[in-house]
Structure 1
Amino acid sequence: MQQNSLKLNSDKTQLLLIGSKSTLTKTNNLTLNIDGISVSPSHQARNLGVIFDSTLSLEPHIRQLVKISFFHLRNIAKIRPSLTPPTAEKLIHPFVSSRLDYCNSLLYGISNTSMNKLQLVQNAAARLLTHTKSWHHITPVLKDLHWLPVSHRISYKILTLTYKALHQLVPPYLSELLSPYQPHRSLRSTSARLLFTPTSKLRSFGDRAFSRAAPKLWNSLPILIRDSDSITTFQSRLKTHLFSSAYP
């Protein structure tokens, strides 16, 4: 930073310790000294619009996301009687759907409770768009709208990144996290374009890492999708596959 004539702003610097609850209790009075000012650990910190917490539960981020999404849905509901369905959908996508999709690959492996909160946002958006009552089942409505559930949208994002990483369409630091599966002896799976799935010690952290989540999702895909010759073909086949899985 000195070479580029930059200086850390101690007033805007945050220190975040990430670990399990038992590990965090063992850190006593840890501080960081920047330009003579002591910086103590924070419970959460914002990075590129995502609120990270010490245990990576992302619950503060989800609460904020749900709060903002329902705020915009209430505003759209006020003018919904004056809007045609296509116009209303054009408002819902940038104000709500785009927020659910932004950095959603970080949400892989979150608790079912947190996932249900995000799904309620999408359900509310679908009800507002189609004038569906709260006591009506929402799954047929989402299917008619061709909207993938939130959990499947997360898988879609991770798998798209995986395809790009395997074809050098992303920065090298992502591609380096993936390696092909190489069995000790010749098997039919050798030519199936499978990925090696590393082991992890902590389910709450390791299983959610891209290096483990990506191979797990990739290996579960039909070989026809893995063998796609372009990103456009891959995304089309992938969405069809996930749609069939979400609405059998």
Structure 2
Amino acid sequence: MKTKILTHKPKMPWRNGDILNLKRICRRAERKFRKTNLPVYYDFLKDQLKTYNHAVKQARTLYFSNLITNNKHNPRFLFKTIDFLLNKDFNKSIMPHSQTACEDFADHFRSKVNAIRSNLQPVHDSNPSRSVALSLPEETLESFVLVDAEMLGRVFSQANTTTCLLDPIPTSLFKTFYKFFESEILNIANCSLQTGVFPSACKTAVVRPLLKKSNLDPKIMDNYRPVSNLPFLGKIIEKLVFIQLHDFLNEHNVLEKCQSGFRTNHSTETALLKILNDLRHNYDSQKLSVLVLLDLSAAFDTVDHQILIDRLSSRVGLSGTALNWFHSYLTDRHFFVSMDTRSSGVHEIGCGVPQGSILGPILFNLYMLPLGDVIRRHGIDFHSYADDTQLYIAVSPDDLEPVRLF
């Protein structure tokens, strides 16, 4: 018996009814030419193909133009769209999808972080009372407010539909039948907020190796970065905590004003505008600018948990159940590497903010708060975007002594 394999190609969203009609006209013109082999039908076919290709190009351009305009405040979506337009394939890999490969990747990712931490100077005393004087908020956040069904439903509806391997059912299905589980989810969330304990089942991350750039050698492990995925329910609880923490930080002006990363109404654009404006101001004042660009290696993955907890207590003003919740959230976390149907063993995570989490970025910003105080004490201007920090000073052309000290 003869068999035939049919390949289903996904329909391109810009292929509307007009384009499909033009394609049918081209098909008919092609069949007419093949049947008669007359030059007149060949010319007609060329004209129709030209019209069709022009219509496809216009429709595709209009589609992506509207897509970019409608998502101009969503950097992740924009970068994903650009990668699609550039035909970048970051999923290619000739690494064998075996359990051995998964274990090798797990060991590689752990050893990379351990190597960086081993080169850091040990912190002999993280007691905030013995450190430099810090501006403490007058109010403290001792506990979280329990949420109602309306708040939970709003967070649930806005959550991404990304499914984790550890989720019992697909996230899209979970969201569809959310009302059937609403009371149970609300009880779990409020129990976590009230007791200061983050569910242990939501502390394990599924890590997938992803090639950093499509033109890199996929045989070299250093060319991969870990992409972490966390259980969906854990992200819902994180978001509920994030909302209350974010409101508290904004109310008491705790966040670093010279930090543009992971903040509402801030972006790489605002960071660039701030630095560029300062440099132009120096130029207008007939001064030279000395700029130093800093980039911390694996900054998010090497965050010390105890220092972060101390920071949340002494600098941010968390205490009581709220502080206990973050201690529970950060500790006893694990990960395993998954490639297709193969997985590594489960390994403990002893440092870093959880990758792929809701709270990770804002916790990193809070962890880096003292950096601004240190830089300001030396009379240096700066601006940061996440772990990228730009230091700059203005000097007179006749006096370069500050450059030597800098």
Flag whether TM exceeds 0.5 (same fold). no
TM-score of the superposed pair, with normalisation by structure 1: 0.28
Which one has a bigger Cα radius of gyration? 2
